[in-house]
Structure 1
Amino acid sequence: MNLKLAALGAAILWGFTYIITTTMLPHNPIFIGSVRALGGGLLLLAFARQMVPRGYWPKLIVLGTLNFGAFFALLFVSAIRLPGGVAGTFQTLGPLITILLAWALLSQPPTLMKIVSILIGAVGVTLVILRADAGIDMIGVAAALCSVVAGSLGGILINRWGRPAEMSLVSFTAWQLLIGGTELAVLALIIGDVPAAISWTNALGLAILAVVLTALPFILWFRAIVALGAASVIPFVLVTPVVAFILDAVIRNVVPGPLQLVGVVLVMTGLIVNQWAGARSAKSAASKPA
């Protein structure tokens, strides 16, 4: 298997999440998040079949809550309220927000180029949410930003705590999905965010979401990360909002304005600058004598 194509395939599949959400699923974001997390988690666990080390459970609950419980709930609120391309663009901010959180929480100040990448990304997001008709849904924007913060904070905690040596990446993710999905299922029942009826279209959409847009792309993504390294794989997330914009334009006739297109380009440029700065720092560190 060509692992770069695998990573590209995963990013393309994730771009379909938004159009599936708006055209095939009920408008119950907590319920949708629970089905996606539980369905995807069970399928991934069927591949891995590894248990969680007893002492790691408290940390895994925190990670599952941030990476999939809070993240999926907020992601689907934004997916329902925003055009798919706009919602997808916010997700590419993850690496940039991670820089800020690492600075605030871990006292890891960013380099000048990383600060530049954050500023470029911030300008880009400002343009993405500006529309001539002032019709952008600010609740959707807030949900999108909070989802990225939750996922980025989860990523920082993974770096800080590490992954148990006896767990593969797939099983590590599967258990987080199951934790987040269980939390969302309970929350959906408590607040009544459950559809009164499920149509055949809804059922098909939920199956696609859990299997094709969660379990399959995560397997492809992790295979690529293990073989190529995260730095080589992360740039493929730039494809996701592009796919989402194209699907919105073709299927829903939702076409981004010129300012939004410029904003998307700036957000992607910020991510590219961030990746380049990281690669440059790593190369510089490797060239220093021990």
Structure 2
Amino acid sequence: MSRSTDIFLTALAPVVWGSTYLVTTETLPAGYPVTMAALRALPAGLLLLALTGGPPPRAWLGRVMVLGAFNFALFWALLFVAAYRLPGGVAATLGAMQTMMVIVMARGWLGTPIRGAAVAAAASGVLGVALLLLGPEAALDPWGVAAGLGAAASMAAGTVLSRKWQPPVSALRFTAWQLTAGGVILLPSALLLEPPLPGLSALNLAGLAWLGLIGAAATYALWFRGLARLEPGAVSMLGMMSPVTAVLLGWGVLGQALTPVQGLGAVIVLASVWAGQRANRPRPAPGAAIRPA
């Protein structure tokens, strides 16, 4: 399969993730962020476990718990804190910083070289997200900023470690392991920190089904598949597609305004994603292209 196809399939994940804000605000009960995160992860993980062959072997349990914490439990929990304490634009702009963090972590954990073009593409993407989402009402709550940066760091660590620790199983089964681990970590926190969940309506269940089966199980399988085939820096750049989708859905479905500055931001984000794929493309080893006379 070509690299372009791998990029396209991996990009579908953040495109779908861009619907999370719309689905959460329009279909789920408010005030239960950790409970909703647990219900998003655990049922989808258990279903995938049943379909793909069961839990991980004992030798992989520690790594799977770490990945489940970084990619789901810690990431989603901090993301909700940031979303509650900061305007959405500020939280999303801090989240876009995870691309920079991936570049640094990949250098330390994978030995991936830091390339100036990749750093420039990541910085341009952060600027584009800021133009796309930040408004005059943006405020900086210290705890919210810390949570936003923590969420970005958690996602970055999960991205790089998911590439470093590749089990000999399918991407769908790898996703099942991590979703279940994340749900197991989130469930006690939900029971301790939040009141009992009221009865769920058909709309609530439909929203959870979308976020769990499509927005978690299917899309993270594509994400982890991409991490096995592409460079972590290239994959992390694709994550910037999520705020573009969120803004377009807000404009098309909720009737929210779309300003020229936001349009410019979207163009910059898309251009930086394209540039990031080129900058992170693996280069042949020195002498590999030399042909004998």
* TM-score interval for Structure 1 and Structure 2 normalised by the shorter chain: 0.7 to 0.9
Pick 1 or 2: higher relative contact order, CA cutoff 8 A, min separation 6: 1
When normalised by structure 1's length, the TM-score is: 0.78
Contact 2:96 2:125 in 1 (8 A): no
CA–CA separation in structure 1 for the residues paired with 2:108 and 2:13 = 31
Q: Percent identity?
A: 33
CA–CA separation in structure 1 for the residues paired with 2:163 and 2:224 = 16
Equivalent positions of 1:183-198 (< 5 A) are 183-192=185-194, 194-198=196-200
Equivalent positions of 1:107-186 (< 5 A) are 110-128=114-132, 130-134=134-138, 143-160=147-164, 162-165=165-168, 167-186=169-188
CA–CA separation in structure 2 for the residues paired with 1:103 and 1:143 = 24
Q: 1:134 to 1:278 in 2, by over 3 A?
A: closer
Aligned to 1:230: 230
Matched, 1:66 2:75: no
Which stretch shows the higher mean deviation, 25-34 or 114-123? 114-123
CA–CA separation in structure 2 for the residues paired with 1:269 and 1:164 = 34
Contact 2:41 2:180 in 1 (8 A): yes
Aligned to 1:23: 26
Measured against aligned partners, the alpha-carbon deviations of 1:59-84 in whole angstroms (never above 9, x if no partner) come to: 22111111111122233445667787
Q: 1:134 to 1:151 in 2, by over 3 A?
A: closer
Q: Which letter maps to 2:53?
A: R
Aligned to 2:283: 282
Secondary structure of residue in 2 paired with 1:202: helix
CA–CA separation in structure 2 for the residues paired with 1:95 and 1:146 = 13
Aligned to 1:200: 202
CA–CA separation in structure 1 for the residues paired with 2:208 and 2:141 = 25
Cα distance, 1:219 vs. partner?
Answer: 4.3
Cα distance, 1:124 vs. partner?
Answer: 3.3
Q: Which letter maps to 2:76?
A: F
Contact 2:42 2:180 in 1 (8 A): yes
Cα distance, 1:125 vs. partner?
Answer: 4.4
Q: 1:125 to 1:105 in 2, by over 3 A?
A: farther
CA–CA separation in structure 2 for the residues paired with 1:120 and 1:96 = 11
Cα distance, 1:52 vs. partner?
Answer: 1.5
Which stretch shows the higher mean deviation, 100-109 or 208-217? 100-109
Which stretch shows the higher mean deviation, 231-240 or 28-37? 231-240
Contact 2:99 2:122 in 1 (8 A): no
Q: State the superposition RMSD in angstroms.
A: 3.7
Aligned length, in residue pairs: 284
Q: 1:164 to 1:217 in 2, by over 3 A?
A: closer
CA–CA separation in structure 1 for the residues paired with 2:221 and 2:58 = 25
Cα distance, 1:174 vs. partner?
Answer: 0.9
Which stretch shows the higher mean deviation, 97-106 or 185-194? 97-106
